[in-house]
Chain A
Amino acid sequence: MPARNDPPYAAPDAAGRFGSYGGRFVAETLAHALEALTSLYETLRDDAGFRQALAEDLSRYVGRPTPLYFAQRLTAQVGGAKLYLKREDLNHTGAHKINNTVGQALLAKRMGKPRVIAETGAGQHGVATATVAARLGLECRVFMGATDIERQRLNVYRMELLGAEVVAVESGSRTLKDAMNEAMRDWVTNVDTTHYIIGSVAGPHPYPMMVRDFQAVIGQEARAQCLEVEGRLPDLLVACVGGGSNAMGLFHPFLDDAGVDMVGVEAAGLGLATDRHAAPLNAGSPGVLHGQHTYLMQTDDGQIMETHSISAGLDYPGVGPEHSHLKDLGRARYAAATDAEALAAFRALNRAEGIMPALESSHAVAWAMQEAARRPASDIIVVNLSGRGDKDIHVVAGLGEAGTP
């Protein structure tokens, strides 16, 4: 067995703090609901019946475990470290998001709440929420920025087929952050009947912890699979970071494996030197938004900036607080890939492996390909392929080879 850190990594504390990040910065009306959710979750996470129900849903409904796939042709093409893909794109609904919504839907049922709401950027979390709501007979409303509705129409239609009401959010920048504001407003109004299924490791405590725990199945499987196939742990983990749930899910089970490096890849948009990106860990500073203290894209006056990424799912000015903590600890590093680099990786993975990654995941693939070329063939890199790219075909089709409209 590989050596593990002692004492082990442990966060958050009882107040939901990851170092100086996280916390619970919400309007008073929500305080009780968050306390009740925390207390229920802390009871159920160690409850054998709950764990059994969750495990059964993940295997029989979601289709877990997902494969750890050796991308042989891509590795040969890049010429360097071995590239493995953790195939979250093969989950039911096509992304990692459902690992979390299955868990939170079980919580909603336990709380006796007949209605769930969600925010969504690319629509993947909205689809995953609408899916579990349909299965459990819960009423479902999904908030989505009007700009994102334009670029992700397919997912809007899917949510509607699943019986969810999709609300177009016209306020602010009309993207993910505004959808989250609107979901908070709905929750404040309907807190007695409604559970808010936040889709990332973001928001007020207990969400960053709870969503991480639900997503940690990614890293738990990947760790065991790598040990089985390669007889050792990987040297490097790579995942894209918007809010950061797929990255946190992959990273967390490896945090005590000192020899495993981890890199989160943010959206550099048109470039970090421009103001058209969504990379708070690379180019932002700490502040408070959506209930959490974390790195943000903000002005000198503390206003939240509008962000840009070709992928709606990474187009968010904040990031889950545990990533801020891991950055400051130096335990994880945070790089960035541009729109053009992500598009090139999208095409490369199609051609080399017959796999169509989501534009979000393509950011991780892009950076991992560059890094693999710099490393020896004996190194092992695991890339989280967090979702499939069918939803992005029309976006890519509308662009030229250079990635410009």
Chain B
Amino acid sequence: MSRIAARLAQRQGEGRRALVTFITAGDPTLDATAPALHALVRGGADIVELGVPFSDPEAEGPSIQRSSERALAKGVTLADVLHVAAAFRRADADTPVVLMGYLNPVLRMGYEAFAERAAAAGVDGVILVNLPPEEADAAQAALATHGLDLIFLVAPTTQRERAEHIAARASGFIYYVSLKGVTGARHLDVADVERGVAALRAVSDLPVLVGFGIRDAESARAVAARADGVVVGSALVDAMGERATCPERIPAALESWLRPVREAIDER
């Protein structure tokens, strides 16, 4: 069983929801990234997403855009991100790592080379925001060969027939986009999320994790009550960006930010 499936099954068995975190690799520095991931695990993260910086992050709101720009300004590459993932994996054998980013850096490295190197680095899954299922055959085959999940997104605009098609080829979990908008948007509507997740459950048995627009313990609690887990990103990325001049303070800040979110989704 993959680390992702094992971790989600474990939480489900406990009757708890999964907490997933996103930070951008290399922001504010590459050296700060693995310690930040460990801090998030201490704060209660079940799965860590590591953002691969891209020059044209068209689905991101200002927080993650700026974080991506800061990382690129320091020359961070996909190869660097894989090194960071490997460094994290050496000290944490169990927490699933998911890389999240845009297609072009992966395409440029080559699907096979990327899949092989990501697997060797201890990565468990990949989310490519602008790779819809119709275009994903080659990437998914290469990743599957190396035991990696390609995780698909489903949006509030996804029609039922298409959701069935996505569910049929999904593995790991399904990432439900909570709102029409970019990451970090501020118009989350919990009733909409509830309807969307229910529609998705009708076509898939995979865990449904919900992201976009969840920015504090309160919104995490509300969404977690209606899904298998939640993803928080922009708020963490902001917390890291604010400490760019004192990266030694990042781990403690992330851990203390995340802990109440963990408690909120466990209490529900």
Interface residues of A (CB under 8 A from B): 15, 23-33, 171-172, 177-178, 180-181, 184-185, 188-192, 287-291, 296, 298, 300-304
A183 nearest CB neighbor, chain B only = B58
Complex CA gap A180/B57 in Å reads 11
Contacts of A33 in B (CB 8 A): 157
28 A-B interface contacts by CB (under 8 A): A23-B135, A24-B132, A25-B103, A25-B135, A27-B59, A27-B177, A28-B132, A28-B154, A28-B158, A29-B59, A29-B181, A31-B132, A31-B157, A32-B159, A178-B56, A181-B57, A185-B60, A188-B59, A188-B181, A192-B180, A290-B56, A296-B104, A298-B104, A300-B108, A301-B77, A302-B78, A302-B107, A304-B104
B153 within 8 A of A: yes
Q: Is the CB of B108 within 8 A of A31?
A: no
Chain B residues with Cβ below 8 Å from A180 are 58
**CB-based contact B132/A189 at 8 Å:** no
Q: Does B185 contact A (CB under 8 A)?
A: yes
8 new A-B contacts, CB < 8 A, other than A26-B132, A32-B159, are: A27-B59, A28-B132, A28-B153, A172-B55, A181-B57, A181-B58, A288-B107, A302-B106
Contacting pair A29 B55 (CB below 8 A): no
Decide if B134 touches A15 in the complex (CB within 8 Å).
yes
- B176 (CB) vs chain A CBs: closest residue: A28
How many residues belonging to B are interface residues under a CB distance threshold of 8 Å?
42
Residue from A31, A192, A287 whose CB has the most chain B CB atoms within 10 Å: A31
Instruction: Please give the distance in Å from A118's CB to the nearest CB on chain B.
Output: 16
Contact residues in B for A171 (Cβ distance below 8 Å)? 65, 69
Q: Return A221 CB to nearest CB of chain B, in Å.
A: 36
> Which one of B56, B104, B181 has the highest number of Cβ atoms from chain A below 10 Å of its Cβ?
B56
The one of B56, B106, B109 that contacts A304, using a Cβ cutoff of 8 Å: B56
Given the complex of chains A and B, what is the CA–CA distance between A190 and B179 in angstroms? 11
A177 and B154: CB pair below 8 A?
no
* Partner among A185, A291, A303 whose Cβ is within 8 Å of the Cβ of B55: A303
State the Cβ distance, A154 to closest chain B Cβ, in Å.
28
Assembled-state Cα–Cα distance A213/B258 (Å):
52
What's the minimum C-beta distance from A193 to chain B, rounded to whole angstroms?
10
| Chain B residues whose CB sits within 8 angstroms of the CB of A288 once the complex forms | 102-104, 107, 130
**B77-120: which residues lie under 8 A (CB-CB) from chain A?**
77-79, 102-109
Q: For residue A298, which residues in chain B have a CB less than 8 angstroms away from its CB?
A: 104, 108
Q: Specify which of B69, B107, B152 is in contact with A287 (CB 8 Å cutoff).
A: B107
Q: Which of B72, B130, B135, B162 has the most CB of A within 10 A?
A: B130
Interchain CA distance A189-B59 in the complex, whole Å: 10
- In this complex, which of A26, A28, A184, A303 has the most chain B Cβ atoms within 10 angstroms of its Cβ? A28
B103 CB contacts on chain A under 8 angstroms: 25, 288
B77: chain A residues within 8 A (beta carbon) = 301
Chain A residue at minimal CB-CB distance from B129: A27
Interface presence of B156 (CB below 8 A) = yes
Contact A289 B59 (CB under 8 A): no
* The residue from B60, B69, B104 contacting A289, defined by CB atoms under 8 A apart: B104
Query: Which residues of the partner chain A approach B264 to less than 8 Å between Cβ atoms?
Result: none
**A306 to chain B: closest residue by CB:** B55
Q: Is the CB of B130 within 8 A of A191?
A: no
A289 touches B108 (CB 8 A): no
Contacts of B159 in A (CB 8 A): 32
Alpha-carbon distance A178/B55, docked complex (angstroms): 9
CA distance in complex: A23, B132 (Å): 10
Q: CA of A190 to CA of B162 in the docked complex: distance in angstroms? A: 21
Beta-carbon contact of B58 and A302 below 8 Å: no
Shortest distance from the beta carbon of A200 to any chain B beta carbon, whole Å: 16
CB distance from A146 to the nearest CB of B (A): 14
| Cα A23 to Cα B107 with chains together (Å) | 15
In the complex the two chains form, is A31's CB within 8 Å of B104's CB?
Answer: no
**3 A-B pairs with the lowest CB-CB distances in the bound complex, closest first:** A302-B108, A302-B105, A29-B155
Q: A302 touching B104 by the CB < 8 A rule?
A: yes
The 8 Å CB contact of A185, one of B102, B129, B134, B182, is B182
In the complex, the answer to whether B155 meets A181 with C-beta atoms within 8 Å is no
Contacts of B58 in A (CB 8 A): 27, 180-181, 184-185, 290
CA gap between A186 and B163 in the complex, in Å? 24
Give Cα distance in the complex from A190 to B103, angstroms.
Answer: 24
B247 to chain A, nearest CB (A): 23
Say yes or no: B104 contacts A287, CB within 8 Å: yes
Residue of A nearest to B136 (CB): A25
- Decide: B130 and A27 in contact? CB cutoff 8 A: yes
Q: Mark B136-157, 1 if CB is under 8 A from A, else 0.
A: 0000000000000000111111
Given A189-B182, A301-B78, A302-B109, does the pair A31, B162 have CB atoms closer than 8 Å? yes
- Structural contact, A177 and B56, CB atoms closer than 8 A: yes
Chain B positions 29 through 68: 1 when the CB is less than 8 Å from some CB of chain A, otherwise 0: 0000000000000000000000000111111110001000
Mark contacts of B162-188 with chain A using CB atoms, 8 A cut-off: 1 yes-contact digit, 0 otherwise. 100000000000000100111001000
Residues of B close to A29: CB separation below 8 A: 59, 155-157, 177, 180-181
| Complex CA–CA separation, A24 to B162 (angstroms) | 15
Taking CB atoms and an 8 Å cut-off, the chain B residues in 218-242 that contact chain A are none
A171 to B155, CA, bound (A): 25
Chain A: minimal CB distance from B246 (Å) = 26
